[in-house]
Structure 1
Amino acid sequence: MMNGIKFLLLVFSMFLIGHSIKTLEFTIASSGHGRRKVAVAAAAQAPAPSKGQNQLVFADQRLAVVYPIIQKFKNIITSDPLGVTKSWVGPNICNYTGFYCETPPDNRSAIAVASIDFNGFQLSAPNLDGFLDQLPDIALFHANSNNFSGTLSGNIANLPYLYELDISNNQFSGPFPPAILGMNSLSFLDIRFNSFTGSVPPQLFTKDQLDALFINNNNFMQKFPDNIGSSSSHVLYLTLANNRFFGPIPRSISKILESLSEILLLNNLLSGCLPYELGLLNEAVVFDAGNNRLTGPLPFSLGCLENMEVLNFAGNQLYGMVPEVICSLGNLANLSLSNNFFIGVGPICLSLIKEGVVDVRKNCIPGLPSQRSTAECVAFFAQPRYCPYNMETYSYIPCFLPSFKSSHDHKHP
């Protein structure tokens, strides 16, 4: 009887082995191409099982390597209200919630964890050390709206493929993570809505591969970086809002931001006058410098921003006439100039005020409703006002505007 049982067990084992050499299919995420099926020969690539993995068989050696890393991270998670980690069981890592696999660049026949999307999972953990920095094939890491804290490990600079890093809306703190400067493939960085402090290394603004930089809503305090414009970087999105950047906007800003689409500088401590070079941001769609300490007149060059849709200078100390060339922008949907000290508008701007496109409340414009009191305006203009640029600079228009051609059109200040 015992011999018969042993024989049946032997046959059953051989049956399992025979099935283990069949090709397994895993559904994986392919960046930019949705989901697709990838066939992986399990027997050919599965590592030798270890005691710690309870004889688990993985589709690829690379998955076997990251399995204990994932399980270790799972063990330090202190809160998982959505039950995300319940799926982090067994060898099918590509099926774990939030994990996506792909063939790595260095071996097109292999399969590895290529991206992680924890957005909105509300996970809590004391840090990401020993997890993110130990995933050798990771290319995208998105973890916004969780409760991760601590700092970022310096080892993330050793991740060769990581080009998108989003840890926004968490509880990270401390100085700007210096390891980010060593991430040569990084094109997208989002660390907003955390508690980082101190200054941002100037090298960050000269990273050639960086397309999008979101560092708003932290506690950075420093002079607005002078080296913006000193490299060949082609930033599309630059968001420094809700920090404590101070000083003037440098004239070099247009050089680095020729391809810029959005720049958000609102709610900082920026001061000084607006450089005419802002009018060279040819691709800009949104420019928001509201609630700072900027002063002086609006440069006529802003009338060259033909793609501009949203332009916000509300809550500053700007003054003078509102240039008609700005109100003539063809794509303009919103121009916010409230809470300044402008003294007049022309007929084009007046028409847009009536349409609700231009907001000039709380200024010093006679005849318009909701303006500052006479006493406020007199007190403001009683103080000397100075800008380092001559008036030719403010009236200079660095583009051809048929309706507003002036003697300054082709004369560089």
Structure 2
Amino acid sequence: MMSKILPLITLLVLLLNPNLFNARETIETPIFPTPLPYQGYPPPLDPKLVELREVILHFKGTITCDPKRVTDTWHPEKSPCEYKGFYCGHPPKENHTYTVASIDFNGFGLCAPTVSGFLDKFVDLALFHVNSNNFSGTVPDVSKLRYLYELDVSNNKLSGNFPMNVFTIRDPVFVDLRYNDFSGRVPLRVFTLPLDVLFINNNAFNRRIPRNLGSSPVAYLTLANNGFIGPLPTSIKNVSNTLKEVLFLNNKLTGCLPYEIGYLKKATVFDLAGNRITGQIPYSFGCLRSIQRLNLAGNLLYGKVPEEVCALGALRNFTLSDNYLTEIGPVCESLVGTVLNIDDNCIDGYPNQKSPEECHAFLSRPKNCPVIDYVPCKKHSYSTPEHPAAPPPALSPTYSALHRRLL
């Protein structure tokens, strides 16, 4: 008889231990995790859950819209583990404790004036995802949250300066602030956080990108669709061992195109479109050996497109439209119309170019950007590249972040 009972007991123990807190690991491709759902076999209501139920019910009273009737499940006679959007587990080394480990309100459309007095009460929380709601205010103090490592408050109505309480997260991995109304300066400290993922696109940040950008260990970085000004920090070369995708598009960046970008040997996506960057494309870009998508469109670049770049074997999309480039060689010519877009430039013999008058007006002005032929990877011989059929495109975390909803 006991041999039949023991497997059932073992199954129940496994079901009662989602182990969300121990799920933290380095993110290769940031994915919104799906915490284990409530299994229907809760232990007796933990004192922590009794306290948190009161916090949740108080927060429910501040909610002014609930289009999906989510809060109907937040019943005072039920465990918070049964509430929609809340997921429970055991904190590390506290198998006797059962509490809320994750909050996932993505896409609920809830309205509330603030999440202060709510988020900061969940001291054992690991994940907080509230993408696509209508929460106002800013990020509250989360310094008491011992295990928090993912914070997603994207696509809400948060506002003010950069939320400094992000720096109270003890060991952050994933921070997503995109599609809010944050403005002003991004602090230097942002690029000292041990993040794998940082999305701050589609806000109103309008100062210079911090000069210590290269101090960050980030793999996926999106600064697009803000109002950043000034040059790209040359310290970017210091993230050569970690940075995989970075988007600077649609800001107000100026200055010369830095050759230090060529150090990004692991980058697969680099997008600088829609700025006011000028100069010639550095030969060092021929060292971007992992690059698949390189977008420099809508800037003030001029001169010859380096053959070194067109010869990169991983290159699948190279966009140079709307610049003032004047020449391409045979390797680049072989890519026009498939991999390479050179529309709206000043290249003789090609259709869809700027008028001679417009080209002359720009090209006759004095140019102050130096020509740097230094190639860090020492690659000097080039031939016509072979571009086999590209595999089905994988999810690009940074480009996905340009969509208002990423659920």
**What is the TM-score normalised by the length of structure 2?**
0.84
Whether the 8 Å CA contact 1:23–1:40 is kept in 2: the answer is no
Query: Following TM superposition, by how much is the alpha carbon of 1:107 offset from its aligned partner in structure 2, in angstroms?
Result: 1.1
Alignment match, 2:250: 267
Alignment of 1:1-400 (within 5 A): 30=20, 31=23, 35=36, 41-42=43-44, 58=45, 60-89=46-75, 90-153=77-140, 155-207=141-193, 209-229=194-214, 231=215, 233-355=216-338, 357-387=339-369, 389=370, 391=371, 393=372, 395-400=373-378
SS of aligned partner of 1:318: strand
Q: 1:28 to 1:172 in 2, by over 3 A?
A: same
Whether the 8 Å CA contact 1:88–1:97 is kept in 2: the answer is yes
**What runs of 5+ residues in structure 1 fail to find an aligned partner?**
1-21, 43-57, 406-413
Structure with bigger RCO (C-alpha 8 Å, 6+ apart): 2
Equivalent residues, number: 359
SS of aligned partner of 2:103: strand
How far apart, in 2, do the equivalents of 1:258 and 1:341 lie? 32
How far apart, in 2, do the equivalents of 1:144 and 1:354 lie? 38
Query: Following TM superposition, by how much is the alpha carbon of 1:381 offset from its aligned partner in structure 2, in angstroms?
Result: 1.2
How far apart, in 2, do the equivalents of 1:257 and 1:225 lie? 17
Letter of the structure 2 residue corresponding to residue 214 of structure 1: F
Identity, in percent, stands at 48
How far apart, in 1, do the equivalents of 2:380 and 2:182 lie? 48
Query: Following TM superposition, by how much is the alpha carbon of 1:210 offset from its aligned partner in structure 2, in angstroms?
Result: 1.2
Whether the 8 Å CA contact 1:221–1:243 is kept in 2: the answer is yes
Letter of the structure 2 residue corresponding to residue 324 of structure 1: E
Query: Following TM superposition, by how much is the alpha carbon of 1:157 offset from its aligned partner in structure 2, in angstroms?
Result: 2.5
How far apart, in 2, do the equivalents of 1:362 and 1:137 lie? 55
Higher fraction of helix: 1
Runs of 4+ off more than 3 Å: 22-41
Letter of the structure 2 residue corresponding to residue 164 of structure 1: E
How far apart, in 1, do the equivalents of 2:281 and 2:43 lie? 65
**What runs of 5+ residues in structure 2 fail to find an aligned partner?**
1-11, 24-32, 384-407
How far apart, in 1, do the equivalents of 2:145 and 2:137 lie? 19
Query: Following TM superposition, by how much is the alpha carbon of 1:386 offset from its aligned partner in structure 2, in angstroms?
Result: 0.5
Q: What value does the CA root-mean-square deviation take over the aligned residues?
A: 2.2
How far apart, in 1, do the equivalents of 2:266 and 2:176 lie? 22
How far apart, in 2, do the equivalents of 1:253 and 1:106 lie? 40
Letter of the structure 1 residue corresponding to residue 242 of structure 2: S
Question: In the alignment, which of 369, 381, 392 is matched to residue 403 of structure 1?
Answer: 381
Alignment match, 1:10: none
Structure 1, residues 91-112: CA drift from partner, whole Å, max 9, x if none?
3211211111111125122111
Query: Following TM superposition, by how much is the alpha carbon of 1:383 offset from its aligned partner in structure 2, in angstroms?
Result: 1.1
Whether the 8 Å CA contact 2:186–2:209 is kept in 1: the answer is no
Higher fraction of strand: 1
Query: Following TM superposition, by how much is the alpha carbon of 1:75 offset from its aligned partner in structure 2, in angstroms?
Result: 1.1
